[in-house]
A and B are shown apart, each in its own frame.
Chain A
Amino acid sequence: MTMCLAQSNAWAGIDVTRHLFLFSPILALILTMLAIVACPIIVGRSAKTIGAVAVMGIIASFILALRVAGEVSEGGVSGLSTLPAAGLLLVDNLSIAFQIILLAFMGGVTYLWWMGSSDSEENAPEFFILLFGSAVGMALMVSTSNLLMIALAIETASLPSYAMVGFDKRDRRGAEAALKYLIFGAISAAIMLYGISLLYGMSGSLSVSVVAKHCIEALATGHDLVITMVGLMCLLAGIAFKVSAFPFHFWCPDAFEGAKVEVTTWLSVASKSAALILLARLVMVFCASISAPEAIGILSPLAWGIGIMAVMTCTLGNFAAYKQTSVKRLLAYSSIAHAGYMLMAVAVFVHPNSEHSQDGISALLTYIAIYMFMNLGAFGVVSMVVWDTGSDKLSSFTGLLRRAPLLAIPMVVCLMSLVGLPPFAGFIGKWWILVALGQLNNTLGWFLIIAAVFNTLISLYYYMRIVVHMTLRDDGQPALSFPLGGVALVNLCAIVLLAMFGLAQPMKTTSEQFTRNIFDTTTVAKTAVVDAATIQPIESVQR
C-alpha cells in the first residue's frame, strides 16, 4: 500500500534514462530556474541578460517537449514507477500537448515582459523565478493522477502566482490584489486538502483511479455516500478556484486588475487551462472506472454539477463585464466567461467505449490553443496602451484606429475572435465544443448548447463597445508611441487567428491525435491497481 516510490523493488525494471527523457521539458524548466538564481552572482542583474537566459530555457524546454511528443504520440504512458496508476507522475499525449501550448505561451509572455521592461528594471531574476516556478506547477498539474501530486502541483502553481500579482512593491493596488488572491487561494487550498484527506481515508489510496472506483461504488450503493461526496466536492472546489468557476471566482477580477499586464496575461490563460485539463483528466478517470457503457448515467449528478457550474460561470462573467470601464478588468471577466465555455467541454461525460469518447477533450485542447493567441494579442495591445498612457480605462482606447492603426486592427481581430465570430479562430473553438455537446444528445447537452449560444450573444455587446470606442469615436488624443517588437507580436497573434480558421481541419486532426488513447491510459490505470480490495475493515485493526 505504500507509495511506489518508497518501495525498493519499484525501481526494478525502470529505464531511468527514458523516464528522465520523458520528463525533460519539466526538468529543463527547473534547471533554467536554477540558472536564473545563479545569474545575478555571475553575470549581474541586467534585465536583458536574465531575459535571454529565460528565453533560452523556454526554447530548450519547447524543443524537448516536441521530441517527447513524437515519442508518446501513439498513446504512450509512463510513470515514475512500474504501475502507471500508482506513479506520482505520468506522461501522455494530453500532458505533453498542454506543455507545448504552455511553453509557447510562456515565450509570448516573456517577450511581452521584455518589451515592457526598461533598463532600470532591477527585479528581473525574481520575476522569472516566479514565472518558471508557476509554469513547473502547471506542467505538473496536467501530468499526474495522484491526489498528493495534484495538491502539490496546484500549490506550486499558486504560490508564485500570489507573489507575481503583488510584484511591484510600491503599487497599492498590486498589494491589495495579492492579498485578496492569497486569502482566497489559501482557504480553497485548505478545503481541497481536507477533501483529499477524506477521499484517501475512504478509498485507501491516493491514486485517482482507485478513488474514482470508490466514488462510483458509493454513488451506486449509497454506502459511505455523504462523506465521500463531501471529500469529492472539496477537491472539486479547490480545482474550481484555479479555474475561477462560479462560486470561487471572486479573486479573479481583483487579482487581474491589480497585477501588471504581463502577469495578468500569464494567469488568465495558463493557470486556468492547466486546472481545466486537470479537471478533464479527473472526469476521464471517473468515466473509465464505469464498467458498462449504459451505466454512465450514474455519473449524471457530477456531470450536471459541472455543467451548471459552467453555465453560471459563463453567464456571470458576461453580465459582470457589461459595466466595466477598465479594459483589464473587462478582459478579466471575459476570461471567467471563457473558463465557463471550456468547463462545458469538460462536462461532456462519455464512456470510453462510446463513439464520441474524445470529442470533448479534443475540443477543449483546441480551445485552449486558440484562446492563448486571442488573449496574448488582446492583452498585448492593452499593455502597450498602458505603457504609453498609463491608464487601462476605456477612454484611453478612444480613437485608437487613428492613433495607432497597427494596434487597433489586431485588437479588433482578437476581440471578434473572443466573441466567436466566423472568420476568426475563436469560432472554431466554440463550434467544436458545441458539436461535442450536441453529440451527447441528452438534456444536459442541449441545455449547455442553449446557454453557450445565449452567452455568446450577450458577450457581443461588451466586446463591440471596445471596438466602437477604438474605431468610431475620436476625442483628439495624441498618437500613441509603441515598441515595434510589441506591434509585431500582436499582429502575429491576429494573423495566426485568421490562419487557424483556414487550417481548421488540420488542427482538428492534430488535437485528435493528441487526445487519442487517453482513455486507454486511464483503463490501464484501472486494471493495474486492485489493491483497494485489500483494505481491512476498520473494526478489525483497532489496536
Chain B
Amino acid sequence: MEHIGLTHYLIVSAVLFCCGIFTTATKRNAIGILIGVELMLNSTGINLVAFDRYMGPGRLDGQIVALFMIVLAAAETALAVGICINVYKNLSTVDVDSASQLRG
C-alpha cells in the first residue's frame, strides 16, 4: 500500500488552484469570481501546511503563514462583498460585463 506523501498534497492543491483560475476566467458574476479567488487562496494554504508537515520536523513558518492567509482572505472577502453591494446598488447587477462605462 502506498503512503500518501507530499506529492499528493501538492497535486490536490495544484488542481484546486487551477479550478480557481478557471472559475475566475469563466464566471461573469462578481461573487462567482470571488469564490474562485477563495479556491486559489485555499490551495495556497494546503501547500504551506503540506510543506511544513513533510519537509522537516519542527517547521512552523508555513503554518503561521497559513493562519495569516486565512485572516487575509476573510478581510478581502468582507471588503469585496461591500464593494459588490455598492455595485449592485448602482448598477442593479453584479455581472462584471455590465460594468463597462469606463473603457478606452
Contacts and interface: CB of A to CB of B under 8 A. Distances in A.
A200 B56 CA distance: 13
B16 to A, nearest CB: 10
A386 to B, nearest CB: 16
Contacts of A304: none
A197 B102 contact: no
B83 A162 contact: yes
Contact of A172 (B48, B55, B101): B101
A180 B33 CA distance: 11
- Most chain B CB within 10 A, of A152, A173, A200, A258, is at A200
B11 interface: no
Interface in A164-190: 166, 169-173, 175-180, 182-183, 186-187, 189-190
Interface of A is mostly: helix
B65 A172 contact: no
Contacts of A92: none
B54 A6 contact: no
Q: Which of B24, B57, B83, B103 has the most CB of A within 10 A?
A: B83
Which of B20, B90, B100, B103 is most buried by chain A, counting CB atoms within 10 A of its CB?
B90
B68 interface: yes
A535 B56 contact: yes
A166 B83 contact: yes
Contacts of B3: 542
Contact of A536 (B33, B56, B90, B100): B56
Contacts of A187: 24, 33, 36-37, 40
Contacts of B19: none
A169 B75 CA distance: 20
B43 A194 contact: yes
Contacts of B76: 155, 159, 186, 189
Interface size class of A (residues with CB under 8 A): 35 or more
Given A193-B44, A194-B17, A175 B86 contact: yes
B99 A541 contact: no
A170 to B, nearest CB: 8
Given A190-B44, A193-B44, A200-B48, A179 B84 contact: yes
A82 interface: no
Interface stretch (A201-209, A368-376, A443-451): A201-209
Contacts of A155: 72, 75-76
A323 B65 CA distance: 45
A307 to B, nearest CB: 27
A147 B65 CA distance: 9
Contacts of A253: 102, 104
Contacts of A151: 65, 68, 72
B58 A2 contact: yes
Given A148-B68, A178-B86, A542 B54 contact: yes
A188 to B, nearest CB: 10
A6 B89 CA distance: 46
A257 B101 CA distance: 10
A186 B77 CA distance: 9
A324 interface: yes
Contacts of A538: 5-6, 54-55
A1 B60 contact: yes
A172 B100 CA distance: 11
Given A1-B58, A190-B20, A197-B44, A163 B30 contact: no
Contacts of B40: 187, 190-191, 193-194
B51 to A, nearest CB: 4
A532 B22 CA distance: 35
Given A1-B58, A172-B91, A176-B99, A193 B41 contact: yes
Given A197-B51, A329-B104, A175 B87 contact: yes
Nearest to A192: B44
A63 to B, nearest CB: 31
A374 to B, nearest CB: 23
B37 A186 contact: yes
Interface string A220-260: 00000000000000000000000000000000011001100
A326 B104 CA distance: 10
B44 A183 contact: no
Interface in B15-30: 17, 20, 24, 30
Interface string B39-70: 01101100110110011111111101100110
B90 A205 contact: no
Nearest to B39: A190
Nearest to A148: B65
A298 interface: no
B79 interface: yes
Contacts of A323: 104
22 contacts: A2-B59, A147-B65, A155-B75, A175-B83, A175-B91, A178-B86, A179-B84, A183-B33, A183-B34, A186-B34, A193-B69, A193-B72, A194-B44, A194-B47, A196-B65, A197-B51, A206-B61, A253-B102, A323-B104, A536-B56, A538-B5, A541-B54
Interface of B: 3, 5-6, 17, 20, 24, 30, 33-34, 36-37, 40-41, 43-44, 47-48, 50-51, 54-62, 64-65, 68-69, 72, 75-76, 79-80, 82-84, 86-87, 89-91, 96, 99-104
Interface of A: 1-3, 6, 147-148, 151-152, 155, 159, 162-163, 166, 169-173, 175-180, 182-183, 186-187, 189-191, 193-194, 196-198, 200-201, 204-206, 253-254, 257-258, 323-324, 326, 329, 534-536, 538, 541-542
Given A1-B58, A147-B65, A163-B83, 12 more contacts: A1-B59, A3-B60, A163-B82, A166-B86, A169-B86, A175-B90, A180-B102, A186-B33, A196-B65, A253-B104, A329-B104, A542-B3
